[in-house]
């Protein structure tokens, strides 16, 4: 068995010294050395009266945390050298645990154990110690090894070293944190360190509030000297941290059974402690910028000297010491996407013959969070409402990637669907904890596809594609992940023939199309509203980039230059855009308000750089001719010269097209009439027919596997 | 395979398919009932959800049992007073 030497630096340590020396003797250490650097209390008397303890006295000026411990190691002979501080009392089993930790691996060069709070330790320190050391334990709370890349933490309050490893590395002569520097050097040299929860000592720095702050000043000053670490300080962050830490202290006290009165008493002290810590640690790591007098006053040890000399010298370019950040969230934003890319989709249930033709299906709609007026969600809920009325069993699952609905509970979400979009009798679930399978799970926005791919108990997966979403983003993670969603074999049901062709041709997805429906009860020509001959209405939602609002505004500026008397009305945004022409602003309008506006206006302008949207159809349904962009998606629905007046993405051409509709009564009449006739057949019921056919198509594709699979062929 | 065996096999397959269809229909019925129950519960708890009130969690908090006892006591007193009132009115 290895011989063990215990080295204890002491200065005025009478309070716990006798208890400590008794514990070390009880544990069976082979050699005990106390190095006293000028104690004026009873420390020397206690050491001299203890049996088997060697005393070495040094001049206080010679003391250095690294230097003195190197001296202690040199003056002892054990294969294992344990360092304890004068206020660290080993608990029973300490030395056995130290030995056991060294036996874990031949490469273990150092061992450390937890510092347990004493009965009178402040809750701030007790909690911090508990949390700090728990992080080093193994998964089962037992011993654990740490190597290169792990946190280099070591603490000479309670640590043990293999003599040959100490001889190779030695402690740096620094004012503080010699143990941390040793830990860093140890791991860099390829050794391991081990943590053993039973190698514990009772230990506490029971300073007053101000002393604590000054100690933090010294500690961070030492840390800066050894690693170059500069503690960040941002007042708001500091306030948040102090509040969170104080709350955690109070929770901890409650868990320990402290009565309310005691918790209240500690609340203020904890606030001062954590606040002081933030300030003094930041000051300590910038001590070299402070005047010597200030340094001396702030230092618990009264040290006013400048930077600490390091005879071994720091590494030529010391690696930057990053500020440790604890995990702040359970999962990353795109964890589901990563899981799908890594492991693939969860397998679907086996197909059943005839499932595509079954009268009633279990349909689950996975949607991202919504806002009032969201066009895409309106489409989805109009469809779901009608699918439900046809007897399908429908449910809504909110996939909240960014925590937007964190404060909204399911019943409220359900009410919003009914109030803002369409009647829905089914349940609404947040996240997928209660997921219970479906015949068809329908992904909607791109963010919902990866979560939907991880749902089990499904016969088929479909993708209600409202738009080509990769185009919503600049080249980015989001654009790439959005593209990825079309490549996972979901059967796409796209909101226009153009969009169907995009997903089929660019990504090889199987796809059907549906036509957006119009609520003809609301959007229809009205005899009670007089149609004006001078009004252009424009959907100027500038927060949506694909709406090409800068181009639209330039077109209207051109129109205003040509026809200063034309009345221009902008709507669809609550922030009036800044323009070079006068206009009337109408914010975000309700359905009935929009219908009234469309019945009063002469020409509508609504641009989309991606998929065609519902708004031009609603304008047409009210008999309002509309100008849209040519060469994008509108032709796939209306043809080249249908009810819509199409113009290239050019302000002058757009202005000219609007002007022609204002001037040419014949063309206006023709487009108005054909528009009404054209969209008459575009209803939500028809759209629901098309979507339902798409969902059954998805199931039929699965059934086809029965015919084409090798098992079926044998 | 003889014609009889083939017919028997086809019949068995048809019976199995009919059984699957019946089970699937049963599953849909069951799912509908379950979803309806959840939806009805959500409709009932709208205001609790709106105000972020979790009554189960609330009643676990210190003082909740005492509060309930107080309400029970008050209810007992009110009922007693009502009873006395009824008795007095009947007497008059």
Closest chain A residue to the Cα of B44, Cα to Cα: A411
Share of chain A above pLDDT 70, in %: 95
A249 C-beta neighbours (distance < 10 Å), count: 25
> Does B20 sit within 8 Å of A411, measured CB to CB?
no
Closest chain A residue to the Cα of B13, Cα to Cα: A353
| Alpha-carbon gap, residue A586 to A607, rounded angstroms | 18
Q: Which residues of B touch A362 (CB under 8 A)?
A: 27-28, 31
> Does B45 sit within 8 Å of A411, measured CB to CB?
yes
Token pair of A143, please?
């011993």
User: What pLDDT, in 10s, does the model give residues A358-370?
Assistant: 999 999 999 999 9
Task: Give the three-class secondary structure for A83.
Answer: strand
Given a cut of 70, whether residue A206 has pLDDT beyond it is no
- Residue A463: which of A636, A633, A686, A697 has the closest Cα? A697
Q: Are A248 and A280 in contact (CB under 8 A)?
A: no
| Alpha-carbon gap, residue A194 to A187, rounded angstroms | 11
Q: Are A174 and A308 in contact (CB under 8 A)?
A: yes
Strand order in the sheet with A80-84: A53-57, A31-36, A4-10, A80-84, A158-162, A108-112, A192-195, A144-146
pLDDT band at A305 (very low <50, low <70, confident <90, very high): low
A353, A428, A436 member nearest B42 (Cβ): A428
Q: Are A543 and A612 in contact (CB under 8 A)?
A: no
Q: Which residues of B touch A414 (CB under 8 A)?
A: 39, 42-43, 46
* pLDDT at A309 (0 to 100): 44
Q: Which residues of A touch B28 (CB under 8 A)?
A: 358, 360-362, 393
CA distance, residue B37 to nearest chain A CA (Å): 9
CA distance, residue A411 to nearest chain B CA (Å): 5
- Residue A573: which of A593, A552, A531, A543 has the closest Cα? A543
Given a cut of 60, whether residue A311 has pLDDT beyond it is no
User: What pLDDT, in 10s, does the model give residues A21-78?
Assistant: 999 999 999 999 999 999 998 999 999 998 889 999 998 888 888 999 999 999 999 9
pLDDT band at A500 (very low <50, low <70, confident <90, very high): very high
> Does A410 sit within 8 Å of B24, measured CB to CB?
no
Q: Which residues of B touch A412 (CB under 8 A)?
A: 46, 49-50
User: What pLDDT, in 10s, does the model give residues A331-347?
Assistant: 788 999 999 999 999 99
User: What pLDDT, in 10s, does the model give residues B7-61?
Assistant: 888 899 889 989 999 999 999 999 999 999 999 999 999 999 999 999 988 888 8
Q: Which residues of A touch B43 (CB under 8 A)?
A: 411, 414
pLDDT band at A317 (very low <50, low <70, confident <90, very high): low
Pairing mode, strands A158-162 and A115-116: unpaired
* pLDDT at A150 (0 to 100): 83
Q: Which long-range contacts (CB under 8 A, 24 or more apart) does A431-435 make?
A: A431/A397, A431/A398, A431/A399, A431/A400, A432/A397, A432/A399, A435/A397
Q: Which residues of A touch B42 (CB under 8 A)?
A: 410-411, 414, 427-428
Point out the least confidently predicted range of A269-278, A314-323, A436-445.
A314-323
> Does B31 sit within 8 Å of A412, measured CB to CB?
no
Give, as one character, the DSSP assignment of residue A53.
E
* pLDDT at A468 (0 to 100): 96
Q: Which residues of A touch B32 (CB under 8 A)?
A: 360, 393
Bridge partners of A493, per DSSP, are A464, A512
Pairing mode, strands A115-116 and A192-195: unpaired
User: What pLDDT, in 10s, does the model give residues A621-644?
Assistant: 999 999 999 988 888 888 888 889
CA distance, residue A273 to nearest chain B CA (Å): 29
Q: Which residues of A touch B39 (CB under 8 A)?
A: 414, 425-427
> Does A360 sit within 8 Å of B39, measured CB to CB?
no
CA distance, residue B51 to nearest chain A CA (Å): 9
The complex scores an ipTM of 0.78
Given a cut of 60, whether residue A135 has pLDDT beyond it is yes
> Does B39 sit within 8 Å of A427, measured CB to CB?
yes
Higher pLDDT, A230 or A649: A649
Burial zone of A407 (CB within 10 Å; 0-12 exposed, 13-18 middle, 19+ buried): exposed
Q: Rounded to the nearest 5 degrees, what angle is found at the Cα of A355, between the Cα atoms of A353 and A357?
A: 110
Q: What is the pTM of this model?
A: 0.60
Residue from B32, B41, B55 to probe the interface with A (highest A Cβ count within 10 Å): B32
Q: Which residues of B touch A358 (CB under 8 A)?
A: 21, 24-25, 28
CA distance, residue B26 to nearest chain A CA (Å): 11
* pLDDT at A714 (0 to 100): 44
Spell out the alpha helix ranges (H) of A189-305.
209-227, 235-255, 260-284, 292-298
> Does B31 sit within 8 Å of A393, measured CB to CB?
yes
Average pLDDT of chain A is 90
For B:20-39, CB contacts with A below 8 A are 20-21, 24-25, 27-28, 31-32, 34-36, 38-39
Share of chain A above pLDDT 90, in %: 61
For B:70-89, CB contacts with A below 8 A are none
pLDDT band at A268 (very low <50, low <70, confident <90, very high): confident
User: What pLDDT, in 10s, does the model give residues A528-540?
Assistant: 999 999 999 999 9
> Does B28 sit within 8 Å of A362, measured CB to CB?
yes
Q: Is B8 within 8 Å of chain A by CB?
A: no
Mean pLDDT across the stretch A439-463?
97
Q: Are A444 and A368 in contact (CB under 8 A)?
A: yes
A360, A410, A436 member nearest B42 (Cβ): A410
Mean pLDDT across the stretch A212-230?
80
Q: Is B51 within 8 Å of chain A by CB?
A: no
Q: Which residues of B touch A393 (CB under 8 A)?
A: 28, 31-32, 35
* pLDDT at A711 (0 to 100): 52
Given a cut of 90, whether residue A318 has pLDDT beyond it is no
> Does B27 sit within 8 Å of A409, measured CB to CB?
no
CA distance, residue B79 to nearest chain A CA (Å): 36
Closest chain A residue to the Cα of B43, Cα to Cα: A411
The values of phi and psi at residue A162, to 5°, are -75, 135
Given a cut of 80, whether residue A189 has pLDDT beyond it is yes
Point out the least confidently predicted range of A135-144, A320-329, A680-689.
A320-329
Residue from B17, B19, B31, B57 to probe the interface with A (highest A Cβ count within 10 Å): B31
> Does B42 sit within 8 Å of A427, measured CB to CB?
yes
B25, B27, B35 member nearest A395 (Cβ): B35
Match 């959007």 to its residue by tokens: A523
Given a cut of 80, whether residue A319 has pLDDT beyond it is no
* pLDDT at A166 (0 to 100): 92
User: What pLDDT, in 10s, does the model give residues A662-673?
Assistant: 999 999 999 999
**Torsion of Cα atoms, A115 then A121 then A126 then A132, to 10°:** -40
User: What pLDDT, in 10s, does the model give residues A465-475?
Assistant: 999 999 999 99
Closest chain A residue to the Cα of B46, Cα to Cα: A411
């Amino acid at each position: 068995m290895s011989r063990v030497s215990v080295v204890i630096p002491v200065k005025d340590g009478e309070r716990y010294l006798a208890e400590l020396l008794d514990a070390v003797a009880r544990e069976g250490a082979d050699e005990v050395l106390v190095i006293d650097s000028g104690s004026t209390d009873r420390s020397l008397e206690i050491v001299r009266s203890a049996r088997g303890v060697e005393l070495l006295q040094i001049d206080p000026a010679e003391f250095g945390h690294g230097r003195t411990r190197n001296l202690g190691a040199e003056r002892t002979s054990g294969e294992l050298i344990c360092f304890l501080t004068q206020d660290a009392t080993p608990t029973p089993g300490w030395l056995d645990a130290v030995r056991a930790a060294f036996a874990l691996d031949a490469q273990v060069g150092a061992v450390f154990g937890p510092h347990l709070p004493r009965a009178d330790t402040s809750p701030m320190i007790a909690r911090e110690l508990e949390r700090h050391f728990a992080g080093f334990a193994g998964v089962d709370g037992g011993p654990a090894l740490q190597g290169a890349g792990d946190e280099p933490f070591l603490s000479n309050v309670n640590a043990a070293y293999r003599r040959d490893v100490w001889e190779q590395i030695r402690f740096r002569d620094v004012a503080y944190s010699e143990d941390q520097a040793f830990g860093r050097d140890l791991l860099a040299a390829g050794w391991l360190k081990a943590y053993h929860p039973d190698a514990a000592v009772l230990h506490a720095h029971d300073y007053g509030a101000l002393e604590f702050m000054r100690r933090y000043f010294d500690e961070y000053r030492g840390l800066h000297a050894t690693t170059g670490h500069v503690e960040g300080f941002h007042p708001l962050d500091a306030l948040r941290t102090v509040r969170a830490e104080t709350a955690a202290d109070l929770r901890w006290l409650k868990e320990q059974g402290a009565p309310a009165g005691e918790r209240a008493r500690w609340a203020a002290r904890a606030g001062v402690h954590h606040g002081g810590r933030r300030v003094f640690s930041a000051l300590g790591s910038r001590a070299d910028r402070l005047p010597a007098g200030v340094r001396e006053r702030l230092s618990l040890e009264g040290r006013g000297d400048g930077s600490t000399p390091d005879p071994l010298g720091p590494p030529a370019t010391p690696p930057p010491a990053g500020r440790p950040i604890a995990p702040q969230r359970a999962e990353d934003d795109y964890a589901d996407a990563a899981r799908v890319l890594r492991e693939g989709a969860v397998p679907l249930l086996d197909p059943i013959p005839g499932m595509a033709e079954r009268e009633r299906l279990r349909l689950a709609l996975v949607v991202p969070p919504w806002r009032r007026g969201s066009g895409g969600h309106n489409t989805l809920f109009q469809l779901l409402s009608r699918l439900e009325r046809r007897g399908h069993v429908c449910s809504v699952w909110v996939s909240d990637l960014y925590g937007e609905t964190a404060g909204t509970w399911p019943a409220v979400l359900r009410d919003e669907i009914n109030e803002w979009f369409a009647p829905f009798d089914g349940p609404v679930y947040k996240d997928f904890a209660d997921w219970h399978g479906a015949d068809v799970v329908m992904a909607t926005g791109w963010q919902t596809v990866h979560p939907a791919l991880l749902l089990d108990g499904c016969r088929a997966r479909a993708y209600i594609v409202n738009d080509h979403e990769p185009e919503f983003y600049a080249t980015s993670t989001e654009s790439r992940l959005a593209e990825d969603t079309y490549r996972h074999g979901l059967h796409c049901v796209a909101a226009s023939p153009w969009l169907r062709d995009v997903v089929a041709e660019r990504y090889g997805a199987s796809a059907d199309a549906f036509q957006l429906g119009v609520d003809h009860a609301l959007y229809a020509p009205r005899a009670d509203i007089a149609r004006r001959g001078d009004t252009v209405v424009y959907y100027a939602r500038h927060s949506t980039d694909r709406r090409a609002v800068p181009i639209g505004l330039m077109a209207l500026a051109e129109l205003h230059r040509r026809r200063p008397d034309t009345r221009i009305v902008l709507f669809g945004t609550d922030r009036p855009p800044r323009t070079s022409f006068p206009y009337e602003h109408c914010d975000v309008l309700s359905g009935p308000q929009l219908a009234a506006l469309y019945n009063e206006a002469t020409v509508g302008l609504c641009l989309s750089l991606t998929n065609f949207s519902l708004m031009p159809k609603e304008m047409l349904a009210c008999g309002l001719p509309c100008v849209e962009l040519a060469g994008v998606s509108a032709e796939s629905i209306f043809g080249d010269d249908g009810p819509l007046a199409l113009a290239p993405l050019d302000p002058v051409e757009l202005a000219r097209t609007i002007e022609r509709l204002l001037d040419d009564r014949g063309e206006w009449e023709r487009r108005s009439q054909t528009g009404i006739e054209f969209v008459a057949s575009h209803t939500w019921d028809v759209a629901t027919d098309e979507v339902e056919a798409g969902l059954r198509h998805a199931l039929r594709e699965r059934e086809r596997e029965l015919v084409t699979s090798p098992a079926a062929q044998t | 395979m003889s014609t009889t065996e083939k017919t028997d096999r086809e019949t068995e397959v048809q019976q199995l398919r009919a059984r699957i269809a019946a089970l699937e229909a049963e599953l849909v019925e069951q799912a509908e009932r379950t979803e309806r129950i959840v939806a009805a519960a959500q409709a009932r708890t709208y205001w609790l959800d709106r105000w972020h009130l979790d009554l189960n969690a609330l009643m676990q908090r210190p003082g909740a049992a005492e509060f309930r006892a107080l309400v029970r006591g008050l209810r007992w007193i009110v009922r007693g007073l009502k009873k006395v009132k009824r008795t007095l009115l009947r007497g008059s």
